[in-house]
Structure 1
Amino acid sequence: MNAVTWEQREEIIGLLDDASAAPDVRAVVVSATGKGFCAGADLRGGSAAGERVAGDVARTIRRGAQRFIAAVLDCEKPVIAAVNGTAAGIGAHLALACDLVIAAEEARFIEVFVRRGLVPDGGGAYLLPRLVGPQRAKELMFFGDAVSAAEAERLGLVNRVVPAGELERTARAWAERLAQGPTRALALTKQLVNASLDGDRAAAFAAEAAAQEINMTTADAGEGVASFVERRSPEFRGR
């Protein structure tokens, strides 16, 4: 069920960081093989020998689950989640941190922490209220019930639900469409939307103006304006 190990987390964090820096990478798809998307953290190798001291758990969360989710939120390219099956715990948060979420009809989302007597980590209490509001977020986290793909779409957790056989094709089509877009403008738009949920209007307006100032120095912005004036389709190159 693709329970994620520490090594896998580090590899994915590195890949997302590399994607941000690579001009030829224009979009990212996070997908999985098998029956599940991600069943959460792999806890089998998580308990080290020796006495635990104060601060160990918080440090582990900061270095592990929180860095993992932040890598998705901070990636400078659009990130699509293609959720093929169960996304539980940190697996659900991995999907929900993505910019766009496409789910197969069989997919389920589970805030499994309460079933283990745990507090949600990996940004769950940050992500969920921003997607569905505080009351719905508490319902999902307090009860830990499985949410079907159809219900997740109704709640606003996912963008689109498709038959399993169409998941890969749909995700690829969305990624290819994004890859033809103005990559830097998309990166700045992503930053603005994410930051807008944490600040006031004055800060959001100031960030918007600064982002547009930066964006107007890109070749794609020049191409977009030129294509409008010349009444033709733009050809963005991600520069």
Structure 2
Amino acid sequence: MTSTESTLGVHRQDDIVTVRFDRPESKNGLRTQEWTDLKAALDEVSKNNSDRVVILTGAGGNFSSGAELGASSDDLFPLAPMQIVNEACLAIRRLNKPVIAAVSGYAVGAGFNLALSCDLVVADSTAQFSQIFVKRGMSPDLGGSWYLPQALSLHRAKEIAFFGEMLTATQARELGLVNHVVAPEDLDSFCDDWASKLKALPPIALARTKHLLNSSFDGSFGAALDREAVFQEHNFTTLDTHEAISAFLEKRNPRYLGR
């Protein structure tokens, strides 16, 4: 594999980690290097107790145009490099902290599914989404074949994947693929506000809530009840749960330690 200089920016401020793709000349096209660096950045976040929330975004007015085509043969997808891509996707889903996608401009192909991998998706009014794979002679990857049928009806998912047409931010919001649409000048401040609210919540309870919701399609209703019961029992052994209850009863703001 060819060594390539990292273009992934990682910025930490007030317990919020902003991870930014920075290849604006390619509309943040993603090569093997970007996927590798993303996985490494998320692994570091998972080990750092002071990192509470991640914002994933792109530089230059675009989120990501997906996998960069026309790159060197070392960077084309089949088959071992796809494992690197999948590991980055799983790192987002398995991260025990919330991840917000802040989307401007293009989020197409793997870029679209990368946004869907995040826990929350905020788009500005310039955002455009597409499962463009079929127009490049490919089929969906990075979880698109799972996310779309879960979020939509099967027939609607097939329409979006078969035709690969562009969706506006408003259309994606109406389909339930985007949480919120804001003006371009408000994207950063809106995501910062959401991240600040999330970091003020008890991190253990938030991590378990993410896990429970991500696992909701993996089994029966009874299995979901069993997972909930196990987590709830353990919540009452944590300092954060006792702090939350005490703060409520004492009518004060809680202070969570993640323990």
Q: Indicate whether the TM-score tops 0.5.
A: yes
Instruction: Report the TM-score range of the alignment, normalised by the length of the smaller protein.
Output: over 0.9
Displacement after TM superposition at 1:48 (Å): 4.4
Match of 1:3 among 2, 5, 29: 29
Match of 1:78 in 2: 98
Percent identity of equivalent pairs: 40
Indicate yes or no: 2:240 matched with 1:214: no
Match of 2:178 among 158, 165, 173: 158
Indicate yes or no: 2:30 matched with 1:12: no
Match of 1:204 in 2: 224
Give the Cα–Cα distance (whole angstroms) in 2 for the partners of residues 46 and 216 of structure 1: 53
Match of 1:33 among 56, 59, 64: 59
Match of 1:99 in 2: 119
Displacement after TM superposition at 1:193 (Å): 0.2
8 Å Cα contact 1:65-1:121 kept in structure 2: no
Structural mapping, 1:39-118, within 5 Å: 39-48=65-74, 57-61=78-82, 63-118=83-138
TM-score w.r.t. the length of structure 1 is 0.92
Give the Cα–Cα distance (whole angstroms) in 2 for the partners of residues 58 and 228 of structure 1: 53
- RMSD across aligned positions (CA): 1.6
Give the Cα–Cα distance (whole angstroms) in 1 for the partners of residues 153 and 256 of structure 2: 36
Match of 1:185 in 2: 205
Give the Cα–Cα distance (whole angstroms) in 2 for the partners of residues 123 and 68 of structure 1: 11
TM-score w.r.t. the length of structure 2 is 0.85
Structural mapping, 1:105-144, within 5 Å: 105-144=125-164
Match of 1:168 among 188, 192, 196: 188
Displacement after TM superposition at 1:216 (Å): 2.3
- List structure 1 segments (4+ residues) > 4 angstroms apart after TM superposition: none
Give the Cα–Cα distance (whole angstroms) in 1 for the partners of residues 216 and 187 of structure 2: 30
- Greater share of helix: 1
8 Å Cα contact 2:149-2:157 kept in structure 1: yes
Displacement after TM superposition at 1:181 (Å): 0.6
Question: Structure 1: any 5+ residue segments left out of the alignment?
Answer: 50-55
8 Å Cα contact 1:181-1:238 kept in structure 2: no
8 Å Cα contact 2:97-2:207 kept in structure 1: yes
Of residues 78-87 and 39-48 in structure 1, the stretch that sits farther from structure 2 once superposed is: 39-48
Residues 119-176 of structure 1 show CA distances to partners (whole Å, capped at 9, x for unaligned) of 1011110111112231221111000000000000000000000000000000001001
Q: Name the SS for the 1:173 alignment partner.
A: helix
Give the Cα–Cα distance (whole angstroms) in 2 for the partners of residues 128 and 217 of structure 1: 37
8 Å Cα contact 1:82-1:171 kept in structure 2: yes
Residues 85-124 of structure 1 show CA distances to partners (whole Å, capped at 9, x for unaligned) of 1101110011011111100100011101010121101111
8 Å Cα contact 2:32-2:85 kept in structure 1: no
Give the Cα–Cα distance (whole angstroms) in 2 for the partners of residues 108 and 204 of structure 1: 35
Residues 45-66 of structure 1 show CA distances to partners (whole Å, capped at 9, x for unaligned) of 35249xxxxxx934432x1222
Q: Name the SS for the 1:91 alignment partner.
A: helix
Q: Name the SS for the 2:58 alignment partner.
A: coil
Displacement after TM superposition at 1:230 (Å): 2.0
